[in-house]
């Protein structure tokens, strides 16, 4: 999960009027503060992005190893959901719309997800509500103090929205940290030779750390 701080400007929409004596290009160039972006604007963005504080923030494409790690976790969760008939597992780049949080965030797009909420009436749209269990896999540039602070802030957003468990998956050091909503500052740490869980929201599901980082 590498967030690139690229803010998309929102172009003048069809039907909007231009200020008198201004052409469209002049208006675009002079307007630094524009209408806050909405979920409808986010739908029109190609690639992975999230809506935060009225701005569309893109995510960089991930590398080979983080991508495989996230895909493997999704497959394990999907097998669990199929076997139990409970919940759905979702891969990278699926959008979750939430009411605006104190940070201004209005959407999430985790690297893998387990979800117990209602499915959208239009299955082509985002899910309404937070992921139940969210997986964030670190990319190459998701290391260091600034990245740690950014990931902690995102976990706080998840918990405010209602997510119960967040995994912080570190492919370089081969560690999985499980953050529960009720004790967000006391993660359970899983290393090779152990099995990571997402209790209590994914009961009886385990994934060996050796398998996660195979």
pLDDT at position 170 over 80: yes
pLDDT tens for each residue of 9-24: 444 344 444 444 444 4
166: CB partners within 8 A, 6+ apart: 133, 134, 135, 136, 155, 158, 159, 178, 179
Same domain, 146 and 70: yes
Same domain, 128 and 32: no
Residue 10 is part of which domain span?
2-59
Give me the pLDDT at residue 30, please: 41
| pTM for this model (two decimals) | 0.78
Q: How many domains are contained in the chain?
A: 2
Give me the pLDDT at residue 15, please: 46
Give me the pLDDT at residue 147, please: 96
Which residues in 53-94 belong to E strands, given as ranges?
55-60, 88-90
pLDDT at position 135 over 50: yes
Give me the pLDDT at residue 20, please: 45
Q: How far is it, in rounded angstroms, from Cα 48 to Cα 42?
A: 10
Same domain, 141 and 110: yes
Eight-state DSSP code of residue 164: -
The band of 35, judged by pLDDT with boundaries at 50, 70 and 90, is confident
pLDDT tens for each residue of 68-106: 999 999 999 999 999 999 999 999 989 999 999 999 999
Give the phi and the psi of residue 169 in degrees, each rounded to 5. Answer: -105, 120
Q: Which of 59, 83, 102 is the last residue of a domain?
A: 59
Same domain, 55 and 66: no
pLDDT at position 3 over 50: no
Same domain, 106 and 18: no
> By the 8 A CB rule, do 56 and 3 touch?
no
Give me the pLDDT at residue 36, please: 82
Same domain, 21 and 117: no
Q: How far is it, in rounded angstroms, from Cα 58 to Cα 62?
A: 12
């Amino acid at each position: 999960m590498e967030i690139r701080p690229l803010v998309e400007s929102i172009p003048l929409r069809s039907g909007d009027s231009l200020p008198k004596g201004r052409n469209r290009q002049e208006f675009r160039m002079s307007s630094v503060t524009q209408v806050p972006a909405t979920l409808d604007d986010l739908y029109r963005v190609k690639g992975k992005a999230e809506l935060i504080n009225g701005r569309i923030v893109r995510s960089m494409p991930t590398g080979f190893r983080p991508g495989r790690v996230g895909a493997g976790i999704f497959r394990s969760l999907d097998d669990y959901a199929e076997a139990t008939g409970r919940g759905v597992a979702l891969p990278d780049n699926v959008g979750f719309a939430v009411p605006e949080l104190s940070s201004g965030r209005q959407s999430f797009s985790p690297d893998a997800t387990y979800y117990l909420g209602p499915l959208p009436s239009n299955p082509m749209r985002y899910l309404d509500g937070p992921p139940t269990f969210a997986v964030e896999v670190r990319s190459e540039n998701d290391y260091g103090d600034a990245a740690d602070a950014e990931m902690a802030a995102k976990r706080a957003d998840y918990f405010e929205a209602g997510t119960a468990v967040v995994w912080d998956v570190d492919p370089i050091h081969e560690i999985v940290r499980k953050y529960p909503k009720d004790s967000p500052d006391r993660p359970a740490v899983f290393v090779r030779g152990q099995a990571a869980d997402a209790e209590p929201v994914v009961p009886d599901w385990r994934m060996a750390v050796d398998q996660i980082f195979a």
